[in-house]
Structure 1
Amino acid sequence: MRVIGGMGGGVAIGWDMGAALQLGAALGLSPLTIAELLPPIEAVMVRKTNEEIEQSNG
């Protein structure tokens, strides 16, 4: 995960795509399938992660 940190906390900005591609390959997925599906999934995961960070920082 890529995170930007500051005085007020941190924010997730994305996931490690190299690791995601390797994980997909280990699961038997083609790189084309991973490249097609991963960006929209990443956007939702980052948004939800940031919502949880905000809630825990109160």
Structure 2
Amino acid sequence: MNQPQTLEGWQVWDLVGRLGGQLRIAGRVVTGWDMGAALQLGTALGVDARAMGELLPAIEAVMVRKVNEEIGDQDG
């Protein structure tokens, strides 16, 4: 249902999988990715800049919400 439908989408999805170490954290809350690092990595990998600009912010928002929900669940 949510799988990428284009080559660019697949490339961005692959990039997202590589961003685990690029989290911005404030206290115990994840605020997002280091987008500068994300864009540099994507560029180095040959990912289309427009696709990154369109897709990364939306994926980042979902990631932040889900990760923070998991952190909250672990705190009880």
Q: TM-score range by the shorter chain?
A: 0.7 to 0.9
Percent of residue pairs bearing the same amino acid type: 63
Runs of 4+ aligned structure 1 residues displaced above 6 Å come to none
Report the Cα distance in structure 1 between the residues aligned to 2:26 and 2:29, rounded to whole angstroms.
5
SS in 2 for 1:29: coil
Q: How many residues align?
A: 54
Report the Cα distance in structure 2 between the residues aligned to 1:32 and 1:38, rounded to whole angstroms.
10
Equivalent residue number for residue 2 of structure 1: 24
Q: How does 1:13-28 map onto structure 2 within 5 Å?
A: 13-28=31-46
Question: Over residues 1-57 of structure 1, what are the superposed CA-to-partner deviations in whole Å (9 max), with x where a residue is unaligned?
Answer: 12121xxxx111111101211222233212221111111000000011101111111
**Residue 53 (structure 1) aligned with residue 71 (structure 2):** yes
**Residue 30 (structure 1) aligned with residue 52 (structure 2):** no
Stretch of structure 1 that moved more, 22-31 or 47-56: 22-31
